[in-house]
Amino acid sequence: VLLVIPFGLVWLFGGQGRTIGRALFAGSPVVAYLIWRLLFGADFDFVETRYFGRWPFALSASLEAWRDFAGTLVSGDDPQLRAYNLVEAAGIVASLVASALLWPRDKALTLYGLATFAVVATSGAALGMHRYALAMPALFLAPAHLAARHAVFDRVWTLACCLGLAVLTLLFSFGFWAG
């Protein structure tokens, strides 16, 4: 449903005519979400709340989860959990920095990515953020823009992504895949 942000902003400020057809297209994510909620929403809510402890805009649970996350990252006793939290923090920082870099070029996609992050960050759990950061277009578009201009950044970013994939594969093989 958050896709309505970039679609709506392009419809409002995109320079092309503001026709009814384009308005319907801009609002189509809301219609798709309502249909999905009608057909699958209850089952999805059951799984998210019962098995993963997540629900939309759970602010107090989210604050507690982020406090625990920071405490574990800074002074946790389990080195494996600290390493996993460090991967989580790196994903969060990378996606937010990429959003800041994309802001001057594409405000609509940046706002969509930040809205996605805000929904996930207030879902009641702090784990699994690096997976949700992949839904942010800025994480792909900002480095691609930099890589096109700077060959050294291109090589460093490619190497960092390969190493990140290796770390995530290791985490998956040790059972940390679900956060």
Q: How far apart are CA 80 and CA 179, in angstroms?
A: 12
Residues 95-143 have pLDDT tens digits of 999 999 999 999 999 999 999 999 989 988 888 888 888 878 999 999 9
Q: How far apart are CA 8 and CA 19, in angstroms?
A: 12
Burial class of residue 167, CB neighbours in 10 A (0-12, 13-18, 19+): middle
Type of residue numbered 149? R
Count CA atoms within 13 Å of residue 124 on its CB side. 11
Residue numbers in the chain where pLDDT is lower than 70:
176-179
